[in-house]
Amino acid sequence: MTQGLSSAQASNKEASLTDLLTGVTLNPEAGGGIAFLVFDLLLDLIVSVQLRPGQRISDKEIASALGISKTPVREALIRLDEANLVKLVPQSGTYVTLISVQRYTTACFIRLQLEMGAARAAAAFPDPRHSVAELEDLHAQLIAVQAADDHIGFVRIDEAFHQRIFMLAGYGDAWVTARRTQFDLNRARNIRRRHRILRGPEVLEQHAEVIAALQARDPDRAEAAMRVHIGDIDRQISRLFTDYRLNGLIELPTVN
């Protein structure tokens, strides 16, 4: 991370931390301690791109907005630094990291492999505690929110659809693991979503094919359907470099 922001990074649509945190209250009884709650809160703001790549954030401003001391805020920022979501720059400040090409590539690979594996397992050896009917219900909800142009609802239910496939496969824990590797991938996706670059009808058609494959108990068809839905890695990487909405928000690989 370089000190300061370029004009491309410092969008005039950036919201201040105070604006984003106004009205937010932390519940110490929720478990994990205040530092964990601050970490979780900032993580959501970063991944949802409400805090943009390259944006400077202040522990003092966060503490003031939340009405807490700076100690748990600093602890949360250290954890975010370890997760490569912020960069602590001595004598400068704390900045949201740019989207890393390397982490994005890794995330694409992990997502593709795990999602295809989950689809195959769900078709071959479905967990009896779950059923394809659960996916059909979520698909019906997606159709409804798509018709209502409810972008936020579509994203939420789409996430639930994919999580349910992992549960049907008997690998619910793998979904949690997969989510921890997807931060940069999801940031890029959320930037596009904020610009209304949506694939609703295409997603619905692909989900329907996944459901049909699972109903048929056909592992090969389920894996192939998921591969089409997720998309090949080369295409994902190409989009990262050619989408002008990501200009100035990407950290290019270091050339040795």
Same domain, 137 and 243: yes
In a domain, residue 1? The reply is: no
Distance of alpha carbon 143 from alpha carbon 154, whole angstroms: 9
- For residues 56 and 140, membership in a common domain is answered with no
Which pLDDT tens digits describe the chain residue by residue (256 residues)? Answer: 333 333 333 344 568 888 999 888 887 766 678 999 999 999 999 998 999 999 999 999 999 999 999 999 999 999 999 999 999 998 889 999 999 988 888 998 999 999 999 999 999 999 999 999 999 999 999 999 989 988 878 888 999 999 999 999 999 999 988 888 889 988 888 887 776 656 778 899 999 999 999 999 999 999 999 999 988 777 777 777 777 777 788 886 665 5
Q: What is the pLDDT of residue 189?
A: 81
Q: Is residue 8 part of a domain?
A: no
Output 143-152 pairs: Cβ under 8 A, ≥24 positions apart: 143/204, 146/200, 146/201, 146/204, 151/193, 151/196, 151/198
Q: Give the residue among 46, 32, 20 at the shortest CA–CA distance from 75.
A: 32
198 in the same domain as 112 = yes
Residue 147 inside a domain? The answer is yes
State residue 5's pLDDT score.
Answer: 36
| Residue 255 is assigned to a structural domain of this protein | no
Domain count, the chain: 2
Do 168 and 236 belong together in one domain? yes
The vertex-163 CA angle with 224 and 218, nearest 5°, equals: 30
Please check whether residues 82 and 182 belong to one and the same domain: no
Residue 7 lies in a domain: no
Report if residue 193 sits inside a domain.
yes
4 in a structural domain: no
CATH number at residue 86: 1.10.10.10
Q: What is the pLDDT of residue 73?
A: 95
Domain holding 158, by residue range, is: 100-250
Tell whether 120 and 187 lie within a shared domain.
yes
Question: Does some domain include residue 199?
Answer: yes
Q: In DSSP terms, which residues pair with 250 in a beta bridge?
A: 99
Partners of 95 in the β-ladder: 56, 87
- Tell me the helix, strand and coil percentages in the chain, rounded to 5: 65, 5, 30
Q: Which helix (H) or strand (E) holds 219?
A: helix 219-230
